Structure 1
């Protein structure tokens, strides 16, 4: 099976991932995964995880410890659920502001916040 098909299959089953997670799961180099995803074009969508912190006055990465800049996904609905599982925060207000500025629809924001509130209990 080609690497493109493996990446698509992994993203469909996982819901979303960083290029490091895809590389680790498939056993290839992360830069190779990034190159193949870039060549795939619109088959794989990407979500920018960087944001500018007003308080710290620097660029921060949301939801990841490694310096990866994008989350990749195929299906938007599964990606929203994956992102809700991925978020680890104490302050839900900052999450709602972040989501509003990232272009999520109102229904998607409600779903993420509902999943986060359910997990906090």
Structure 2
């Protein structure tokens, strides 16, 4: 199972997210659930950097991705980065709704 963990501040700002595990929906290379989650999460990290110029601190290995949401004093850029990450969560929730046996999303507020 893939577990996506979203860490938020008490005010709801996304601080970081992590993705661990494998869906095991199909054989490696044919697993559309893993491919979808990977495309959405890696795409979000790339989109934040390309569209805002803010660089998320990210690490990736097979079956594992973690990224820290960048912060900017520029409220417009910070808001744009947060919006892109919220879009990522919306896309992941769509995948989890369709493939609930394979993807779990949990959110932590601290």
Which structure has more RCO (C-alpha within 8 Å, separation ≥ 6)? 2
Taking structure 2 as the reference length, the TM-score comes to: 0.28
Is the strand fraction higher in 1 or 2?
A: 2
Larger Rg: 1
What TM-score do the two structures reach when normalised by structure 1?
0.26
